[in-house]
Structure 1
Amino acid sequence: MKPTPDWIKNILNPGRRSFMKTAAAGAALSAAGGLVELATQKKEAQAFAYAPHYTDDQLTTVVTSCDHNCGSRHMLVAHKKGDVIVRLSTDDGRYQENGSFGKDTAEEPQLRACLRGRSYRARLYSPERLLYPMMRVGKRGEGKFKRVSWNEALDFIAKKMIELKKNYGPTAMLDQAYAGTSYGALHKSDQIEGLLARFLGMFGCRTNSWSVPSYQGTTFSSRMTFGTIEDGNEDDAFAHSKLIIMWGWNPAYTFHGGNTFYYMRLAKQNGCKFVLIDPQYTDSAATYDAWWIPIKPNTDAAMLAAMAHVIFSENLHDQKFIDKFCQGMDAGTMPEWAKGHENFKDYIFGKSDDTPKTPEWAEQICGVKAADIVKLARMYATTKPAALKASWGPGRNAYGEQYNRMAAAVQAMTGNIGILGGCAEGVGKGWHAESVAYPYDENANLWWASIKSDRWAHCVLNYPNVKREEIGCWPRDDELDGKIPNIKGIWWHGSDWFNQLTNINKEIKAIEKLELVVCADSTITPSGLWADVLLPVATHFERHDVALPWYKGHYYIHRPKTIAPMGESKTDFQIFTELAYRLEALDPSLKDFGRRYNPRADRSYFDNDDAVDEAYLVAWWKKVQDHQGVTMSWEEFKRRGVYKFKFDKPLVAFREQIEEGEPFPTPSGKIEIFSTTLAQVKDWTKTQYGYPIPAIPKWIEPFESLNHPKVKQFPFHLITPHPRWRTHSIFNNIPWLRETYQQEITLAASDAARLGIVTGDIVEVWNDRGRCVVPAYVTERCMPGVAVLHEGVWMDLDKNGVDRAGNPDFLTLDEPSPAGAFAYNTILVNVKKTQLEHRPGWDSLVTARSIVFRRDT
């Protein structure tokens, strides 16, 4: 073949010569024929750099929702061509009853999805999507699997479950379900109401995980103080606040309600003032021009105690409210049977320990100037109504329950509970959804042992030489009370807990001792890499259900089966039903297990669930109509896709108690600053808490803090807040979201300068529990001595066990508070520049370019 002449090269690459020379060459080529049209004649383009978007009239539009516990579940609108979703949009006002395009009111706000929800198509069609049953062929954690049939996978699991139950007893299987990615009215993953809990309970072999990672300290506080975790106003009440204190709360990242920002914007427009107490200056603080009060992590209870001291000392408390509604706030509100016990006011003034909890005392602990504590206390006590929003993050600490209880005491002493614009929030759950469509009966939450969720590895590694208080054994009234569970298998359902619980290195040691690990998920997660069997679960786009608001919001969203299940994926309900039939065939004592587990179905449900799911949801909607006064028919609900409740006035927690005199659901019928339940415990080792908890809120020194002697070796206090671009570990593998942000450790500028670190440098973060590698981000928006590393990134271990992705749970301590609060934010670490490898994700720098951009700036 002859080489291409230069004059033809010049035509095909006109940048090499001037236009005039190229035109001349083109004329010469014209005389020769051949390529002349390329150079000289116009022709309509026949190709595009990208495929043109389909127009709406070419697509089918289906209303559905998000599926995760990010603080809400917003509307998604799937636009599909055939059986493929080609794009996602969200609520624009037209879908609800009497809706129209653009409708968006305080009574019926739009349920607009965030960037995470809008990116869901990338998750649905992700390379990490799990489409077929898989079984491990390599070592645990090596990530080597082979594809198998459903028969092979389920037969293996069924036989192994029978074997474990026979050999090790009714505690051999550990339930680690959570509301990660299978949470609806029917297809529900949950620790208590979930499908797995009922399945293992009916099977007769289940150890329960009883503490909730997100807010166990807060849950405890709410139950001890108010008698319920439904202690939160709906977010429309924020619009009426004159002061909002965001204590450890960053609603720009963690919504805590579907339309939180909408109502807070209304409050700002009405003149509301904002305060942020947090180790870092957050985007929420910037949005609302908040007064930022930096505080040392894990010292919040001390600052709140000092605020109480100011309020009492200056007679700013609401004594009438205290006398009428509180127990144990002062000597006059103590019950007769507890006259010898300490009350809250006496503790604050130091009558028993000779330590008045003054602002000067607190300044030495929490690093907040005494003058600022006085100013904030006066501001809060003299502004009505005021919302002290005590968020969950500061409660994810050693003795985090004391922070929550102290916040509740300060809320109560100022009379800001049960009033519009105030705030009683601990857990803060608002309006109650009708949440269960599948069978929920006496079998729903059976267990033969129940331990604190993040103590399973400690239990497995030290069995049987474990004290019940070490693992938080829940008391029973039978011969199994206090018996240490002999855990030999784990089932992960709707959870990525191996990646998300504390002290991952300890989990790695423990999982080697197990005989069965099952992971049921729609995505191959880091937890899945440590499993023996992977079961592909249909996403919420591929099954019929109804979305429930999580935490706050008063609405229901219909979730039709938008597309057919991809690959060989099945719903959780199908999997457990089929397994129940297989188990009953192996064990005569499990007679009719399949039919009892799913009474509306026979075994054909595994291949066709449509009619059965519809029947469950129709019956559930009848309960919604009967219990909540909904008049919309099921068919109309399906047609529109959403039902939004309208109320005459904002929903305020405990309005009935304050305005109408109804008792609080506590033993005394009052707000219990002095807890009847805690004061009457005789033997703490025989409670689920294991160790003493004071009857009134108190400041207790944490395991680790900037005031601890270990700070000489590990000078940074690490906190691990939730990121905006993930929901825990969900969405970590979405390239769109990683282009906006890369996992990185935030350092104060003064600390970084001392260590010679600039933004983009790769650093090691380590302590005596583990080590991870991550880029640094340097800013003035972080308190010196504090480092910030967001939770949830997918672990990636090198041959020496160093995490190259920057997962902070290699550094956390698996020692929870007595009340069960996870110590996710009680971490001392050291930081230095490193040559160790950093790997930002499974698709690496191909798409995740944010670190490159940051380094260039």
Structure 2
Amino acid sequence: MSGDSSAGETTRTPTTFHWGRYDVVSSGDRVVAVEPHPGDPDPSPVGAGVPEVNHAPYRITRPMVREGWLLGDRDSVRGRDRFVTVTWDRAFDLAAGELTRVRGEHGPAAIYGGSYGWGSAGRFHHPQSQIHRFLAMAGGYTASVNTYSFAAMEVVLPHVIGGGPTSLHERGPTWREITEHAGLVVSFGGLAAKNTQMVPGGPSRHTQTSWQRAAAGAGVRFVNVSPVRDDAAAELGARWLPLRPGTDTALMLALTHVLLAEGLADTDFATRCCVGFDRFRDYVLGRSDGTAKDPAWASGITGVPEDGIRELARTIAAHRTVINLAWSIQRHDHGEQPYWAGIALAALSGSCGLPGGGPAGGLGIAEHGTRGHRRIAALPQPAGGAVARIPVARIADMLLEPGGTVDYDGERITFPDTRLVYWAGGNPFHHHQDLGRLERAWQRPDTVIVHESWWNATARRADIVFPVATTLERDDFALGAADSTITAMHRAVPPPADVRTDHAVFAALAARLGFGDRFTEGRSERQWVRELYDRTRERLRAEGVDLPGFDAFWRAGSAALPEKDMTPDGGSFATLRTDPAGAPLATPSGRIELVSDTVAAFGYPDCPGMPVWLEPYERLGTEAAERHGLHLVSNQPKTRLHSQYDGGRISRDSKVGGREPVDLHPDDARARGIADGDTVRIHNDRGACLAGARLTDAVRPGVAVLATGAWYDPDDDGVCRHGNPNVLTRDTGTSRLAQGPTSGTTLVEIEPTGADVPAVRAFEPPEVVEATPPPGEVDRPV
């Protein structure tokens, strides 16, 4: 049964967010508190900010239609218009009519199905699954591929090690192996504790920091290669190498140069288990292009002293070493290169394929000490639903350039003429780059339909807004990655009277469009939750896991799973080291491809067939830095998940003067006349935002740190009053190979604003007309 409570009665119900497992305390239809589950040793504080957001004044509680769109006013502007309340029937008729019109006049590719995977930890109420199933059954749509988090590694890793983003984690060492066997962890991009709060599906227990402490206690040494000192916990005693942002590849190549030049490289492994070693070696040593990638060369690029580079290379060779590659290092111009170069460095380090050593992807993100993704069931998807696909970070290109083309992983993709954007789950006006450009692109479609619970920037820029229930207002279940607990998500409170779930919205639209029974398969929402649990139970039974029946699970609130470790002692790199011919990787050669003839054949000058240093479009130490002398690091926040719950108490308490804090080194602040707590203007040629200055020596001089996720709040000139860094980032792909985002390659300048600054309005709802639309309205734009 759900956790709904009568008026005045206090109840506790279990649920799971992407940042962990919690007990929800509610009274009547109000959430009173969200408390960490007592079994979590290191819970995320983000949950404490949920109650006020669930009942916030910027909650959307009725279907809305943008007034200008409703009246057919083509001069009206999304994001600056007021909204009109409509009935659910009216909203459904308008949306169904537009879907039918656009598909009939322009074809299914003209409908873009926008969503992002962090919409819900639950398996059934997962917006991405719901919208894709609906649009597929409605006749097809244009979808996206890859993620903003790690698009570059998603595309390059299959060419290098024969697997996607999880493959490096599955094959790399676990924390248990590191603790037992390793001597050194060199982490490019750090091991920030804040990044361990969240995983898709939610962690039942936060154990990452305890694993790190255990490794340090066992004598493992840590090196934090990052412009931010706090990217490694102080208790690890990590050596800090504060390199210039975006120069990891140059440092990796120089470390490799030392290994080769001083006879420390594992050439046996490189010869037997890799292809292209000779060509890669000749590039690093400068034989092929006349430039040795030695410490002197790298020091001029990275700012890391030559002696420090040599010392680190020798330490790597002398110890069982993990080369950890954080996701952040590939969100730069040419972001494919540091992952490729990092794997090459690990292959030559002497530790690849040995217990507790070799390359790792995202240590400090995954919340477990073992490997192995559970085979959890998801909402079934019809085959062939997506009739076209674009790289996920190329949405503004698609909207602005219908009929244009883009290179992607050996293909040439043609952008469709997008007439309708349907978005459910995610906030593109948080995670996309160059929001001023996206703002212009967003005006191009005929219609934008959005599912949202709150008036964030995306909802404000919709034409039809369906108000949807939050996690606390739905029944579901969750299982995070290789987690050891499957958890029930009981509905704690009912949604507001005029709010429905994403599934209910799609089911009603499907009924209007003639495929309602096929979409729901005759099941209620609770029956779907039971069905997906039962399917998961069957899948896990094949792995020897015996879950309880649904009713027993639902009453208990959770079920324990045994730990799963698919590939112990170094995984497939271990078997590759032992028997390269008998245990091949899924690459064309069956080995690690230090040189990929496949990628080389694409002929991309911005991503050749092996790891190389390519000059980014801007960085410190170049002419570009003479105008904009600070490198902006827009990392993940520790007070929210991306932009989720930015209005919650935990996130708001972290603000400086109501704006997102920007961390500056005291020397940089002093040179600009900035004091701690000042409101500052951060700007470059792409845009500007306001933020609150916070001075700290934990950032490298020349670097400013402004976390992502402040709700976009532009004034009439496009200046974000709240501090969203993506008004400053460039909307350019990593390369023709992956077309990933390059938010990490951003130079800015910062100046104090003085006392006269505008108020933040991010959490103020738009103007709403609480009346029936006036006579003369039309069903759709004319």
Q: TM-score range by the shorter chain?
A: 0.7 to 0.9
1:586-630 CA-partner distances (Å, limit 9, x unpaired): xxxxxxx323333243xxx5xxx3234323432332223234533
One-letter identity of the residue aligned with 2:290: D
Higher RCO (CA 8 Å, separation ≥ 6 residues): 2
Indicate conservation of the 8 Å contact 2:16/2:121, yes or no.
Answer: no
Are residue 655 (structure 1) and residue 571 (structure 2) matched? Answer: yes
Describe the shift of the 1:439–1:211 C-alpha distance in structure 2 as closer, same or farther (beyond 3 A).
closer
One-letter identity of the residue aligned with 2:626: K
Q: Choose from 505, 526, 541 the match for 1:625.
A: 541
Q: Choose from 657, 679, 683 the match for 2:600.
A: 679
Q: Write the distance in 2 (CA, Å) between the matches of 1:809 and 1:628.
A: 47
Are residue 242 (structure 1) and residue 242 (structure 2) matched? Answer: no
* Match in the other structure for 1:78: 24
1:249-274 CA-partner distances (Å, limit 9, x unpaired): 34221117642111001112212212
* Match in the other structure for 2:315: 379
Shift of 1:131: 2.3
Q: Write the distance in 1 (CA, Å) between the matches of 2:431 and 2:487.
A: 29
Q: Choose from 101, 106, 123 the match for 1:185.
A: 123
Higher gyration radius (CA):
1
Are residue 763 (structure 1) and residue 680 (structure 2) matched? Answer: yes
- Tell me the SS of whatever aligns to 1:777: strand
Describe the shift of the 1:514–1:311 C-alpha distance in structure 2 as closer, same or farther (beyond 3 A).
same
Q: Write the distance in 2 (CA, Å) between the matches of 1:739 and 1:546.
A: 31
One-letter identity of the residue aligned with 1:80: S
* Match in the other structure for 1:227: 162
Are residue 545 (structure 1) and residue 468 (structure 2) matched? Answer: no
Describe the shift of the 1:676–1:600 C-alpha distance in structure 2 as closer, same or farther (beyond 3 A).
farther
- Tell me the SS of whatever aligns to 1:574: helix
Q: Write the distance in 2 (CA, Å) between the matches of 1:142 and 1:157.
A: 21
Q: Write the distance in 1 (CA, Å) between the matches of 2:114 and 2:569.
A: 31
Indicate conservation of the 8 Å contact 1:222/1:427, yes or no.
Answer: no
Describe the shift of the 1:409–1:397 C-alpha distance in structure 2 as closer, same or farther (beyond 3 A).
same
Structural mapping, 1:264-275, within 5 Å: 264-275=212-223
Describe the shift of the 1:644–1:263 C-alpha distance in structure 2 as closer, same or farther (beyond 3 A).
farther
Shift of 1:81: 3.7
5+ residue gaps, structure 1, are 1-53, 94-109, 332-342, 476-480, 585-592, 685-690, 845-857
Q: Write the distance in 1 (CA, Å) between the matches of 2:428 and 2:494.
A: 28
Indicate conservation of the 8 Å contact 1:222/1:426, yes or no.
Answer: no
Describe the shift of the 1:275–1:727 C-alpha distance in structure 2 as closer, same or farther (beyond 3 A).
same
Structural mapping, 1:466-485, within 5 Å: 466-469=404-407, 472=408, 475=411, 482-485=413-416
Q: Write the distance in 1 (CA, Å) between the matches of 2:12 and 2:678.
A: 46
Describe the shift of the 1:542–1:275 C-alpha distance in structure 2 as closer, same or farther (beyond 3 A).
same
Q: Write the distance in 2 (CA, Å) between the matches of 1:679 and 1:474.
A: 10
Structural mapping, 1:562-573, within 5 Å: 562-573=492-503
Q: Write the distance in 1 (CA, Å) between the matches of 2:427 and 2:391.
A: 17
RMSD: 2.6
- Tell me the SS of whatever aligns to 2:229: coil
* Match in the other structure for 1:92: 38
Are residue 124 (structure 1) and residue 44 (structure 2) matched? Answer: no
Shift of 1:706: 1.3
Q: Choose from 96, 99, 102 the match for 1:158.
A: 96
Q: Choose from 700, 719, 739 the match for 1:820.
A: 739
Q: Write the distance in 2 (CA, Å) between the matches of 1:649 and 1:199.
A: 36
One-letter identity of the residue aligned with 1:413: L
* Match in the other structure for 1:346: 282
Between stretches 454-463 and 346-355, larger displacement belongs to 454-463
Q: Write the distance in 1 (CA, Å) between the matches of 2:52 and 2:177.
A: 36
TM-score (norm 2): 0.86
Describe the shift of the 1:600–1:665 C-alpha distance in structure 2 as closer, same or farther (beyond 3 A).
farther
Q: Choose from 126, 140, 160 the match for 2:78.
A: 140
Q: Choose from 390, 413, 423 the match for 2:325.
A: 390
- Tell me the SS of whatever aligns to 1:87: strand
Indicate conservation of the 8 Å contact 2:13/2:25, yes or no.
Answer: yes
* Match in the other structure for 1:725: 639
Indicate conservation of the 8 Å contact 2:332/2:745, yes or no.
Answer: yes
Q: Choose from 504, 510, 521 the match for 1:580.
A: 510
One-letter identity of the residue aligned with 2:376: S
Indicate conservation of the 8 Å contact 2:419/2:447, yes or no.
Answer: yes
* Match in the other structure for 1:201: 136
Indicate conservation of the 8 Å contact 1:327/1:674, yes or no.
Answer: yes
Q: Write the distance in 2 (CA, Å) between the matches of 1:514 and 1:485.
A: 12
Q: Choose from 593, 598, 621 the match for 1:707.
A: 621
Q: Write the distance in 1 (CA, Å) between the matches of 2:697 and 2:283.
A: 37
Are residue 362 (structure 1) and residue 282 (structure 2) matched? Answer: no
Indicate conservation of the 8 Å contact 2:391/2:740, yes or no.
Answer: no
Shift of 1:58: 7.3
Q: Choose from 365, 373, 377 the match for 1:432.
A: 373
Indicate conservation of the 8 Å contact 2:379/2:532, yes or no.
Answer: yes
Are residue 837 (structure 1) and residue 757 (structure 2) matched? Answer: yes
Are residue 463 (structure 1) and residue 414 (structure 2) matched? Answer: no
Q: Choose from 364, 374, 383 the match for 1:442.
A: 383
Between stretches 179-188 and 421-430, larger displacement belongs to 421-430
1:509-551 CA-partner distances (Å, limit 9, x unpaired): 111222111111222211111111111222222222221315x
- Tell me the SS of whatever aligns to 1:630: coil
Q: Write the distance in 2 (CA, Å) between the matches of 1:707 and 1:459.
A: 34
One-letter identity of the residue aligned with 1:76: Y
Indicate conservation of the 8 Å contact 1:491/1:518, yes or no.
Answer: yes
Are residue 300 (structure 1) and residue 240 (structure 2) matched? Answer: no
* Match in the other structure for 1:561: 491
The count of corresponding residues between Structure 1 and Structure 2 is 720
Are residue 282 (structure 1) and residue 230 (structure 2) matched? Answer: yes
* Match in the other structure for 1:515: 446
Shift of 1:301: 0.2
Q: Write the distance in 1 (CA, Å) between the matches of 2:156 and 2:485.
A: 27
Q: Choose from 520, 523, 527 the match for 1:611.
A: 527
Q: Write the distance in 2 (CA, Å) between the matches of 1:423 and 1:134.
A: 53
Describe the shift of the 1:665–1:749 C-alpha distance in structure 2 as closer, same or farther (beyond 3 A).
same
Q: Write the distance in 1 (CA, Å) between the matches of 2:350 and 2:562.
A: 28
Shift of 1:313: 1.8
Shift of 1:638: 2.3
Q: Write the distance in 1 (CA, Å) between the matches of 2:485 and 2:680.
A: 45
1:740-775 CA-partner distances (Å, limit 9, x unpaired): 344122222222111111112222111111111112
Aligned sequence identity (%): 28
* Match in the other structure for 1:61: 12
Between stretches 656-665 and 207-216, larger displacement belongs to 656-665
* Match in the other structure for 1:500: 431
Describe the shift of the 1:403–1:147 C-alpha distance in structure 2 as closer, same or farther (beyond 3 A).
same
Q: Write the distance in 2 (CA, Å) between the matches of 1:474 and 1:184.
A: 35
Indicate conservation of the 8 Å contact 1:226/1:665, yes or no.
Answer: yes
Describe the shift of the 1:153–1:544 C-alpha distance in structure 2 as closer, same or farther (beyond 3 A).
same
1:410-434 CA-partner distances (Å, limit 9, x unpaired): 1222243444433532367742122
Q: Choose from 501, 521, 530 the match for 1:599.
A: 521
Indicate conservation of the 8 Å contact 1:221/1:426, yes or no.
Answer: no
Structural mapping, 1:406-417, within 5 Å: 406-417=341-352
Structural mapping, 1:771-790, within 5 Å: 771-790=688-707
One-letter identity of the residue aligned with 1:262: S
Between stretches 534-543 and 302-311, larger displacement belongs to 534-543
- Tell me the SS of whatever aligns to 1:468: strand
- Tell me the SS of whatever aligns to 1:798: coil
Shift of 1:285: 4.0
1:460-493 CA-partner distances (Å, limit 9, x unpaired): 22334x3333xx5984xxxxx7443101221221
Are residue 804 (structure 1) and residue 750 (structure 2) matched? Answer: no
Indicate conservation of the 8 Å contact 2:712/2:762, yes or no.
Answer: no
Are residue 737 (structure 1) and residue 645 (structure 2) matched? Answer: no
Indicate conservation of the 8 Å contact 2:377/2:533, yes or no.
Answer: no
Q: Choose from 335, 343, 357 the match for 1:400.
A: 335
Shift of 1:657: 4.9
1:629-664 CA-partner distances (Å, limit 9, x unpaired): 334433333233233433386964852452475322
